[in-house]
Amino acid sequence: MQQLYIGNKNYSSWSMRPWVLLTQFGIAFEEIYVRFDSFDAHSQFKATVNAVSPVGKVPVWVDGTLAVWDTLAIAETLAEQYPGKNLWPRDPHARARARSVCAEMHSGFGALRSHCPMNIEAQLPLVGQLAWRDQPAVRADVARLVALWSELLQTHRGPMLFGDFSIADAFFAPICMRLNTYALPLPAAAQAYVDRVTALPSVQAWIKDALAEQDFLDFEEPYRVAR
């Protein structure tokens, strides 16, 4: 069976994207969980992941002797392997736009990532308030999200960014988790989209597993000393 190597579900936003994509579309796979013990070159995490990927990072999609790393590459590979499931939108123009917004998500929103790292278990509204007050780049990232989502939801008439669930929604799912954790202010339509993504069966399954981990990693949480 094809395998997906992932890190801690509470923290690993990159792992979440392909896992949610696979699960939401009902594509069978074996989950290989690799705990974030540390990212030191001699850590167990690095030893395990380096055995299947030259970059030593998760996620990694393994299909026999083929290993695919990087979330965009994994998504494109899955779209080719399962064309009948329409992981990308069917319409060519919408499909091109979906690729564009996934690439923007993949390489952008650095301030939001940096100041509001994914932590599904935590509720950190005060940390979010400080980031919102003191970090104009965080406010700019959220403004871009709101503009992007608003346009796509209006164009494709929801409930997801391109009508039906697609790779694009899987890519933005970790951002939705961040917005929930830090309670960053959103207009009603954007908050409603976050709520719909959060309610997806695949996302709910990921959240359930994240909460069950009970694994506090201090190097992932510089803003508190314990759970």
Concatenated DSSP letters for 26-94?
T---EEEE---S--STTSHHHHHHHTT-TT--S-EEEETTEEEESHHHHHHHHHHH-GGG-SS-SSHHH
In this structure, is residue 220 part of a structural domain? no
Q: Residue 60 and residue 77: Cα distance in Å, rounded?
A: 12
* Structure confidence by residue, pLDDT tens digits, 160-200: 999 999 999 999 999 999 999 999 999 999 999 999 999 99
pLDDT-derived band at 225, boundaries 50, 70, 90: confident
Q: Residue 161 and residue 96: Cα distance in Å, rounded?
A: 13
pLDDT of 16 > 90? The answer is yes
Q: Residue 61 and residue 75: Cα distance in Å, rounded?
A: 10
Number of domains in the chain: 2
Cα 112 to the center of its chain, rounded Å: 13
| Domain stop point among 36, 67, 85 | 85
Q: Residue 4 and residue 24: Cα distance in Å, rounded?
A: 15
* Structure confidence by residue, pLDDT tens digits, 120-154: 999 999 999 999 999 999 999 999 999 999 999 99
Other beta carbons within 10 angstroms of residue 4's beta carbon come to 23
Whether 118 and 13 have beta carbons less than 8 Å apart is answered as: yes
Domain that holds residue 17: 3-85
Other beta carbons within 10 angstroms of residue 147's beta carbon come to 11
Please tell me whether residues 105 and 200 are part of one structural domain. Answer: yes
pLDDT of 227 > 90? The answer is no
Whether 3 and 30 have beta carbons less than 8 Å apart is answered as: yes
Q: Residue 101 and residue 71: Cα distance in Å, rounded?
A: 14
Please give the mean pLDDT across all residues of the chain: 96
- In the prediction, which pLDDT does 223 show? 80
pLDDT-derived band at 51, boundaries 50, 70, 90: very high
Please tell me whether residues 99 and 198 are part of one structural domain. Answer: yes
Whether 18 and 170 have beta carbons less than 8 Å apart is answered as: yes
DSSP secondary structure string, 112-176? HHHHS---SS---HHHHHHHHHH-HHHHHHHHHHHHHHHHHHHHH-SSBTBBB--HHHHHHHHHH
| Domain stop point among 66, 85, 104 | 85
Please tell me whether residues 43 and 141 are part of one structural domain. Answer: no
* Structure confidence by residue, pLDDT tens digits, 73-116: 999 999 999 999 999 999 999 999 999 999 999 999 999 999 99
In Å, how far are 10, 15, 79, 93, 116 from 5, measured between CA atoms? 15, 8, 18, 32, 24
Q: What is the amino acid identity at position 79?
A: A
Q: Residue 120 and residue 91: Cα distance in Å, rounded?
A: 34
Burial class (CB in 10 A: 0-12, 13-18, 19+), 153: buried
> What proportion of the chain, given as a percentage, has pLDDT over 90?
91
Specify the CATH number for the domain of residue 132. 1.20.1050.10
pLDDT of 226 > 80? The answer is no
In this structure, is residue 217 part of a structural domain? no
